[in-house]
Amino acid sequence: MNTDALIEAALLTQPEAVSELTLRRLADPPLSEDELAEAMDLLRQRWQNRALQLVHTPLGWRFQIASAAFEWLGNLHEQRTPRYSRAVMETLAIIAYQQPVTRGDIESIRGVTVSQTVIQTLQERGWIEVIGQRDSIGKPSLWATTDQFLSDFQLNSLTDLPPLTELGELVLPDLNANESCEKSESQ
């Protein structure tokens, strides 16, 4: 079978991104990195201007619904996108922007205790993981985001996150406080 067709079939039938190593091993003998890059460019061109688009994520390659088609197709599925609480989203934002962080760091920024359920929800989704322990009393776990987080939020790297100023008080609680003080001092 044609290697390009085999790669295309593999990508279309997998629910998750397929790593480059896996795609290279579909051929016999395995493709080189350059050969795979050429095959992926051709495949991406073939799928250009369609309802599905081929994208490269930190986890590998996958097909996803093009944004223009997403609204129309969303009505086909009764399954609703999971809703996450404000606590879950705030905790995720803090971890994403301040990583690596401990639970204590998160609690200090949020000003409230972080429940185990919040951490568990983020872990189950595959968005955060323990990457080590801080060298301090009690050796608290250090949390960071995962490649799954980047893939699910369609980011190539953490540098693609929007600027912190767009999040307001959530991650930079002193930002608005400093602006308020400067305004009252100037009046």
Q: How far is it, in rounded angstroms, from Cα 155 to Cα 87?
A: 22
Closest alpha carbon to 119 in 141, 137, 97, 138: 141
Residues of the chain short of pLDDT 50, as ranges, are 170-187
Q: How far is it, in rounded angstroms, from Cα 42 to Cα 39?
A: 5
Q: Report pLDDT digits (tens) over 155-180.
A: 888 998 888 776 555 444 444 444 44
Alpha-carbon distances, residue 38 vs 8, 31, 35, 46 (angstroms): 13, 10, 5, 12
Q: Report pLDDT digits (tens) over 110-138.
A: 889 999 999 999 999 999 999 999 999 99
Domains of the chain: 3-74 (1.10.10.10), 86-186 (1.10.10.10)
Helices of type H across 14-154: 20-24, 33-46, 67-74, 86-98, 103-110, 116-124, 147-152
pLDDT at 151: 86
pLDDT at 76: 64
